[in-house]
């Protein structure tokens, strides 16, 4: 991906840049100021919501073309179509294993720490109207509906609906067709490469206002939900955040170590993107930068183009941890007994419902409603307990999902023998040496 350079000159240029000129510092300042405004002047914080929404919409308008162009270029550049299929199968196998482990991990943590025990909440005392819209949306979270939704009604619909999986579906088909066109398709492939450069430059322009967007999003979150809600359910929040951190640095840390790299160094390398994910409570907005930085780290473009967009739908480790923890927490809080067999049933249901969760704010809440509705043991109305803190939970879910997909990209690249191991080690040891030229 030619929009990226990684050399000593670029490193020297970045090293001499003043600290306040770094994007991640600006984003961090934006988040801190937003939290302060939301806490001190809640109404003003709520009014700043359009700033965060505008940034997300601006980035989303470029995500579909970037995914399409990157995936098409990666597949069409391959000399063997079996290779693309092999990458896809390995990625899906990895996703299924890690998300299953995440579900089991969440179940173990919530049963050991039991954050909901002693709350004695009566479901009848909760306002079910607050979650009615989420329950309605959850009715569409069936496997058949999910698979049918992968196929768009028209090519244009895939780019206008905002469904990344539909764009990926068309991109794979188009890439295979272009590859079969052989040498005659080379002018089209060259055009796709040049268009991808333009869109990456466009994303670079948009990302300059990222600190303002993060400021608005955080001001709205604190202003609307305040700190009172956080304190009320702080035990569950702290348990969930601790579970996510443990999964990242121990669970994914072991996977990373077996693959020959450090997850701590990977987190440091992706710090700018992680701060944006935290500030905007979603990882979809950083997908273009994420893909570019993974290529810059030594992963092959074809692997990045297939693994990352697919991972945004199928590799949701944080969402899986949340689903089992939230389901059992609500059972504990409402004094609903759950047998071991019933909890295993929750895992089975979550394996299906979690695949319909997108990497955007609020999706985990919808899938939780679908899960409780399918299981039938825990009152669906009880999810109203989590409504006020879901925005804060969404941040942890998104961060865990993001890091999980980053680890998956490196692992699958290594499995394919398309990872520049020495370059990866150099980049992770010297993260400031990577310069995005867009």
- Distance CA(317)–CA(263), nearest Å, equals 15
Q: Do 320 and 32 touch, CB atoms closer than 8 A?
A: no
pTM for the full predicted model: 0.79
Partners of 322 in the beta sheet? none
Any idea what the CATH number is for the domain that residue 77 is in? Answer: 1.10.3860.10
* Closest-CA residue to 303 (of 139, 63, 152, 94): 94
Q: At what angle do helices 23-40 and 271-280 cross, to 10 degrees?
A: 20
- Distance CA(95)–CA(98), nearest Å, equals 5
- Distance CA(124)–CA(431), nearest Å, equals 53
The predicted structure's pLDDT at residue 75? 78
Query: What's the number of domains the chain is made of?
Result: 1
Domain membership of residue 395 as a residue range: 4-436
- The length of the chain in residues reads 438
- Distance CA(229)–CA(226), nearest Å, equals 6
The predicted structure's pLDDT at residue 2? 47
Q: Do 317 and 404 touch, CB atoms closer than 8 A?
A: yes
Any residues with CB less than 8 A from the CB of 359 and at least 6 apart, and which? 282, 283, 284, 312, 313, 316, 398, 401, 402
Terminal C-alpha separation, the chain: 12
The predicted structure's pLDDT at residue 222? 82
205: left (phi over 0), alpha (psi -120 to 50) or beta: alpha
Q: Do 416 and 300 touch, CB atoms closer than 8 A?
A: yes
- Each residue's pLDDT, cut to its tens digit, for the chain (438 residues) gives 544 444 433 333 334 457 666 777 888 888 889 889 988 898 898 898 888 888 878 877 887 888 888 888 877 776 666 777 788 889 989 999 999 999 999 999 999 998 888 878 776 666 555 555 454 554 455 556 666 777 888 888 878 776 777 888 888 888 888 888 877 878 888 898 888 888 888 887 887 888 888 888 888 878 876 666 566 677 888 999 999 999 999 999 999 999 999 999 999 999 988 988 887 777 777 888 898 899 999 998 888 888 888 888 788 899 899 999 999 999 898 888 888 888 888 888 887 767 655 544 556 666 777 777 767 678 777 777 787 677 778 888 989 999 999 999 999 999 988 899 999 999 999 887 676 655
The predicted structure's pLDDT at residue 7? 44
- Distance CA(262)–CA(256), nearest Å, equals 6
């Amino acid at each position: 991906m030619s929009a990226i350079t990684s050399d000593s000159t670029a490193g020297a240029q970045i090293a001499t840049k003043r600290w306040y000129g770094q994007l991640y510092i600006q984003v961090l300042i934006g988040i801190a100021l937003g939290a302060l405004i939301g806490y001190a002047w809640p109404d003003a914080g709520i009014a700043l919501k359009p700033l965060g929404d505008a940034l997300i919409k601006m980035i989303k308008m470029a995500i579909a073309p970037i995914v399409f162009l990157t995936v098409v270029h990666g597949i069409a550049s391959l000399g063997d179509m079996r290779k693309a299929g092999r990458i896809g199968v390995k990625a899906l196998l990895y996703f299924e294993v890690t998300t299953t482990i995440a579900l089991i991990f969440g179940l173990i943590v919530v049963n050991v720490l039991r954050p909901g025990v002693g709350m004695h909440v009566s479901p009848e005392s909760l306002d079910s109207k607050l979650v009615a819209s989420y329950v309605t949306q959850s009715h569409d979270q069936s496997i058949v509906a999910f698979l049918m939704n992968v196929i768009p009604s028209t090519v244009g619909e895939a780019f206008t609906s905002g469904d990344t999986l539909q764009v990926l579906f068309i991109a794979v088909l188009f890439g295979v067709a272009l590859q079969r066109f052989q040498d005659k398709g080379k002018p089209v492939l060259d055009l796709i490469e040049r268009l991808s450069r333009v869109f990456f430059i466009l994303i670079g322009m948009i990302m300059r206002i990222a600190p303002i967007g993060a400021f608005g999003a955080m001001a709205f979150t604190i202003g609307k939900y305040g700190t009172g809600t956080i304190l009320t359910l702080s035990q569950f929040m702290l348990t969930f955040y601790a579970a996510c951190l443990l999964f990242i640095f121990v669970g994914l840390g072991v996977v990373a170590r077996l693959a020959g790299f450090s997850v701590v160094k990977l987190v440091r390398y992706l710090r700018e993107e992680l701060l944006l994910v935290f500030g905007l409570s979603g990882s979809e907005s950083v997908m273009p930068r994420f893909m570019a930085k993974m290529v810059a780290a030594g992963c092959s473009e074809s692997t990045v183009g297939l693994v990352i967009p697919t991972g945004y739908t199928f590799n949701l480790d944080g969402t899986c941890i949340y689903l089992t923890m939230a389901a059992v927490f609500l059972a504990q809080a409402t004094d609903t007994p759950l047998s071991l067999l019933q909890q295993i049933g929750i895992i089975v249901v979550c394996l299906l419902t979690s695949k319909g969760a997108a990497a955007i704010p609020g999706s985990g809440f919808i899938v939780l409603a679908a899960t409780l509705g399918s299981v039938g043991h825990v009152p669906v109305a009880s999810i109203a307990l989590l409504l006020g803190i879901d925005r804060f939970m969404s941040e942890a879910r998104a961060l865990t999902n993001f890091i999980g997909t980053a680890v998956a990209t490196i692992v699958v690249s290594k499995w394919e023998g398309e990872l520049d191991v020495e370059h990866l080690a150099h980049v992770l040891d010297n993260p400031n040496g990577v310069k995005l030229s867009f």
